[in-house]
Chains A and B, each alone.
Chain A
Amino acid sequence: MPRKRDAGVNSRIPEISIFLLICVFLLLPIWLGSYYLHFFIMMFLWAYLSQSWNIVGGLCGQLSLGHAAFFGTGAYTSSLLFVHFGINPWLGMFLGGFVAFSAALFIGYLSFRYGLKGPYFALVTIAFAELSRVVVLSVEFTSGPMGVLIPLQELGLCSFQFKGKAAYYYIIFAFTLMIVVVARFLKRSRVGYYLSAIRENEDAAEGIGVNTLWFKVMSLSISAFFTALGGSFYAQYLLYITPEETFGWHVSVEMILRSLVGGIGTILGPVLGSVILSLVGEITRVVFGELAQGVHVIIYATILILIVLFFPKGMVVWINERGLGRKSYPRGY
């Protein structure tokens, strides 16, 4: 039997506040200047990427430390297809998604078929990310360390290039909403139960009839697909990408950190984590940035350590455990 719903107004508060927040975010570009919009665009981009990572890293519990490979694949596929062959970046974005999907299929099958778990799987993903970074750095087709400059086009929806930042803001906001809905759907479906079972105890899951190999490979591939879409967006937003910026180690770490702070395996955790880390990062940079070189990074790192120390399961889990979320959902936020 599904659990009974809590009666009363209290139980609706999270829904209402989320709805209001969405309205506020939709109206933000009216008031905000370019600096703040950029801040919000990057915040949502990282929220989106973090939730994409969360599908395999959180829901399924397979620690990928190499999602930069998929992010870079997305960024480079759409950009190169456009620069070399004039293929529309929107189409390129989905092609990039499929390239990343296929790469993940390969990496996932190779690792999971031979039973790589935990840190060993993590090592393989790091290896693949580094491998792809080095390849992109050294191949002429990708212009190596020079990076790819996407030439300016006629502005508009079709060319994925816009005047000002508001359009980019709305696109990445829509992406973020979409990935949250996808994660929510996944988590509460049959697949979500199976992924949790794999995360909790793989042998028991297999024994109870879960095709663990299939679900692990698919969650990695789906996660890679969405991560790559984020990569293409990043390329179109900045119009200039380099191997270090897209395939770099920091990209993978940033995705995981935001989930970690917000709550790994939760639906709203990556978004909340991204809001917190973006704010902390920006504020420390503005306030302490001119004090002495590197001081703001030290303070940022200290705050990060404190957050992980005091909220080891993430903010969302902490909030849920205190009963502030709605209990009627069997699987939390």
Chain B
Amino acid sequence: MREAWEGKVTLEGIEMVILEVRDVTKKFGGLVALDSFSLRVNQGEMVALIGPNGAGKTTVFNLITGFHRVDRGQVLLNHRSITGLKPHRICDLGLARTFQIVQPFLDMTVLENATIGALKKVKRVRDAMAKASEILEIAGILHLSSNKASSITLADRKRLELAKALATGPTVLLLDEVMAGLTPKETEQIISMVKRINGSGMTIVLIEHVIKAVVALATRIIVIDHGVKIAEGTASEALRDPRVIEAYLGKELEIA
């Protein structure tokens, strides 16, 4: 899996765009969920997408991964358009996601869950299981391998969700609120895990409400409100932007 992660080497000084969302608009009936939204993610970056509930964050993920159809605009992965492709094709091309509401295959074991992801790149079941075990080790749930997914805790399900996506051998990983609902200690563990994964070269886009995690992880923050990008920049820049404070936080935020 190392090979898959390393991918292209960033030339010094030149940033390589790996994922690009160009002027994407999405309407649900009369509601404009996303209004000419654009996003560029560079190779190896960790970008956080934040915003109030219903701002359109998950819609961005659903549009990128093909779960929703784009009304207008384009999505490019490695400079190639993936607009309108089916989710499994987009996964083939190296873009994996987790779901905000975890979606484990409940009646299967943890190992089997991860194996299904691994079968994307490794065709033999036995080899895929070996690879899945490696990933479970990274996710810190190897000891739960033979437990049914329905029997593990929420924190472990979040880890499993991440492991499943990671097992498909992606170059870009989209994480949708992997820390929501976890205790501070569990959050801490996931933060360091995501850091490690990013450290080995994986490009990551994350949606997160836990500001501590966003500040700790993201190299860049994009703030959405009502389907429009209202701010972009480093954590301190974006979070101090008056529009962000007004729209999202309500009052000035103290960053510890």
Contact = CB atoms under 8 A, between A and B. Distances in A.
B65 A3 contact: no
A203 interface: yes
A196 B105 contact: yes
B67 A200 contact: no
B205 interface: no
A208 B99 CA distance: 11
B112 A208 contact: no
Contact of B119 (A193, A201, A206, A207): A193
B105 A201 contact: yes
Interface in B92-149: 92, 96-97, 99, 103-109, 111-112, 115-117, 119-120, 123-126, 128-130, 133, 145-146
A156 interface: no
Contact of A194 (B103, B116, B165): B116
Interface stretch (B5-13, B18-26, B83-91): B83-91
A188 B115 CA distance: 12
Given A1-B130, A207-B65, A209-B168, A193 B116 contact: yes
A207 B108 contact: no
A200 B126 contact: no
B125 A193 contact: yes
Nearest to B168: A209
Interface in B132-173: 133, 145-146, 164-165, 167-168
Interface string B35-50: 0000000000000000
Nearest to A202: B103
Nearest to A215: B88
A209 B105 contact: no
A2 B165 contact: no
Contact of B116 (A189, A205, A213): A205
Given A200-B108, A208-B120, A212-B88, A1 B129 contact: yes
A167 interface: no
B65, B164, B167 interface centre (most CB from chain A within 10 Å): B164
Contact of B133 (A1, A201, A213): A1
A203 B103 contact: yes
Contacts of B119: 190, 193-194
B117 A209 contact: yes
A197 interface: yes
Contacts of B126: 2
